[in-house]
Amino acid sequence: MALQSLTDKLNNIELKVRQLALRLERLQNENSTLLLENKQLKSELAQNNSKIGQMEERVARSKVALDLQRESNPESSKKLRKEIDQYISEIDKCIEWLQNS
């Protein structure tokens, strides 16, 4: 009886080791997937930050142009103001997207 009990215990340990090995493999696969996703998200974030920087530069240039033309041409000022408002709206959408990511 003692030999059977020992054999049962060894079989039980072997089963648990196999289960642990399978769990480890699943976790490693999940980790690889998450690392890849994280890398992709960081890349998207960098691209979006770049776009935001470009838009901010465009807004700054437009504001300067608006100030210059405001004095000389009020109709052109309205057009530039609309353009600036559009850029600001795009920047706000990017910022909102980044905050929700």
**Per-residue pLDDT averaged across 88-100, rounded?**
86
Question: Per-residue pLDDT tens for 40-91?
Answer: 999 999 999 999 999 889 888 888 877 777 677 767 667 778 888 898 888 8
- What was the pLDDT predicted at 30? 98
The model's pTM is 0.55
Domain range for 80: 2-100
Q: Which of 89, 92, 70, 71 is nearest to 79 (CA)?
A: 70
**Residue 95: both structure tokens together:** 């910022």
Q: What's the domain count of the chain?
A: 1
Q: Are 54 and 79 in contact (CB under 8 A)?
A: no
Using N-to-C axis directions, what is the helix angle for 74-100 and 2-72, rounded to 10°?
170
Question: Per-residue pLDDT tens for 11-47?
Answer: 999 999 999 999 999 999 999 999 999 999 999 999 9
